[in-house]
Amino acid sequence: MAGVPISNLSAELGPNSELGKALTAALPGRVSLPGSDQFNASNGSYYSAFENEIVPAAIAHPTSVAEVATLIKTLKPLLLGQPSGSPKLAIRGAGHAPHPGAANAQDGVTVDMRGLKGIKLSHDKTAVSIAAGETWDKVYEALAPEGLTVAGGRVTAVGVTGFLLGGGLSYFSTVRGFGVDNVTNFELVLASGEVVQANASINPDLYRAVQGGSNNFGIVTRFDMAVFPRTETMWGGLLYATIDNLTKSHQALYDFATAEGDAVDENAHIQVIAAYITANNMGFDVVGANLYHTEGVANPPCFKGLLEMEGRIEQFTTLRQDTHLGFCQEQAMLNSAGKRQFFITSTIKPSLELFNAVYERFHADALALKDSVAGIVLALVLQPLTKTMLLNSCRQRQADDTGYNSQGLRVEDGPLIVVLVSSTWAKPSDDDTVIKMVEKMNADIQALAQERRMGHRYIFPNYAWTGQNVMQGYGEERLAELKSASEKWDPERFFQTVVTGGFKLGE
């Protein structure tokens, strides 16, 4: 059936259709259709309301790499080469990106990978194998009795796959780079249905491509990650204060991002936040920070400026000693599932004047939404990628002499500030209003940076919205490397043209 138009996959998936028979034969008892309890439970369990509202024609529920391989061998000839606008194939992990189509396919086939489970520590206790359907809380719980951890997600409910394929920033990023830099081996199913390993010794070009390559090369079914000893407790938490501390928080961020020599603390991690919250037709601003010291040092000197902020809001401040898992659980409580949410990102150079200008523009746009969108919450998050972090990211990347990391960043690109504008709201009728305004915020931030020659091409994949040119933001050299790998490992462009979600390489 390759090349035969399938204009309505929902109809084609009837129990007596050729496509329906092929799909159910490939995974007997593991395909659910609209209206069934299994379908409704799966399709209504996304982190994002946008994804919950997409209705695929069928959901496949594999529980092994062999079943994933069989599924791809079955579906590829039926879906490849169809006209533009034909139904797609979506690969769903355990949850990360909120935008529509990130992990669900309207009228297409969605592969729910959450049935692939398993966390296994190597015999020499240097690496852990993690199945694609796992979440970070399960990983941390499995490693804790051994006194070990990994550079994984900062929110317990986040899926391993989405986090790592998007790069991944962890509490340990300053010393260990991006989360994906710590992956020593990928097991993945290629477009051919072949199951391969990719590491520094076996298929090294594919290994380098999958690191930072989004979902463009295969369906990853297992990640092997380097583990390392953890302290019994870390120190940190949430710190919030009145908005008159804004400039002080920006100065603290600038000092942290540009620190050199002895002023650098590789065990420290921060995000600086300005939030605008509406409730009962009123709006209020707060400034805050998420700050952590992974070696458990309380009140380290690198956080001095933030810790000296006056007007601390004690009911929102949680600084303490806690476990790695405990801090991730706290973040999970702040990220409720099922909401309407939109976030978008850009990257700038550190500048106190630019930080303040960015906030003023953000705040003006936030006020414009207060009266028209009930219950909206907007946040401006600034997160540093220091030169030390980029150096360690490049070092973590094995068998590579290009000088850049998996996302095309070199040490000399730093320091950088990843800017995240996030929003949550209640009513579908407000979608267009909010999305257009937040897109405007992001465009304004980029313009402010460019005017000062303080912008940067990089777009952090985990914070990006559909339509952003993430892969182009890696730079020409890295993008050319990824395109070359795609031509070799996916010559028919199955993952470019049929599989939805992720960020594509372009023509």
With residue 383 as reference, give the H or E element that holds it: strand 377-385
Distance CA 230, CA 174 (A): 15
Mean pLDDT of the chain: 90
pLDDT of residue 335: 73
pLDDT of residue 11: 47
pLDDT of residue 3: 40
Q: Does residue 478 carry a pLDDT above 80?
A: yes
For residues 379-394, average pLDDT:
95
| Confidence category of residue 5, pLDDT binned at 50, 70, 90 | very low
Asked if 118 and 134 count as a contact pair (C-beta separation under 8 A), the reply is yes
| Confidence category of residue 7, pLDDT binned at 50, 70, 90 | very low
pLDDT of residue 400: 55
For residues 393-415, average pLDDT:
83
Higher model confidence: residue 99 or residue 264?
A: 264
Q: Does residue 29 carry a pLDDT above 50?
A: yes
pLDDT of residue 280: 52
For residues 371-399, average pLDDT:
87
Q: Does residue 122 carry a pLDDT above 50?
A: yes
Q: Does residue 22 carry a pLDDT above 90?
A: no
pLDDT of residue 281: 58
pLDDT of residue 45: 81
CA angle at residue 175 from 169 to 181, to 5 degrees? 55
For residues 47-62, average pLDDT:
88
For residues 374-381, average pLDDT:
90
| Confidence category of residue 13, pLDDT binned at 50, 70, 90 | low
How are strands ordered across the β-sheet holding 195-199?
Answer: 119-121, 127-131, 219-226, 183-189, 195-199
Write the CA distances from 156 to 130, 335, 368, integer angstroms: 15, 10, 34
Q: Does residue 153 carry a pLDDT above 80?
A: yes
Distance CA 490, CA 228 (A): 34
For residues 87-101, average pLDDT:
81
pLDDT of residue 367: 87
pLDDT of residue 68: 97
Q: Does residue 310 carry a pLDDT above 80?
A: yes
> Does the pTM exceed 0.95?
no
| Confidence category of residue 1, pLDDT binned at 50, 70, 90 | very low
CATH numbers and ranges of domains, the chain: 9-114+489-497 (3.30.465.10), 119-230 (3.30.465.10), 234-470 (3.40.462.20)
Strand ranges inside 147-256, DSSP E: 148-149, 183-189, 195-199, 219-226, 228-229, 234-242
For residues 66-92, average pLDDT:
87
pLDDT tens readout for residues 168-199 = 999 999 999 999 999 999 999 999 999 999 99
pLDDT tens readout for residues 124-149 = 999 999 999 999 999 999 999 999 99
| Confidence category of residue 334, pLDDT binned at 50, 70, 90 | confident
Range with lowest mean pLDDT among 30-39, 152-161, 336-345, 374-383 = 336-345
Distance CA 462, CA 93 (A): 14
Range with lowest mean pLDDT among 310-319, 357-366, 375-384, 395-404 = 395-404
For residues 7-27, average pLDDT:
65
Write the CA distances from 24 to 8, 14, 91, 93, 402, integer angstroms: 18, 10, 18, 21, 46
CA-CA-CA-CA torsion sign (405, 164, 421, 473): positive
For residues 266-286, average pLDDT:
81
Q: How many CB atoms are closer than 10 A to CB 216?
A: 23
Q: Does residue 112 carry a pLDDT above 50?
A: yes
pLDDT of residue 12: 55
With residue 32 as reference, give the H or E element that holds it: strand 31-32
pLDDT of residue 282: 61
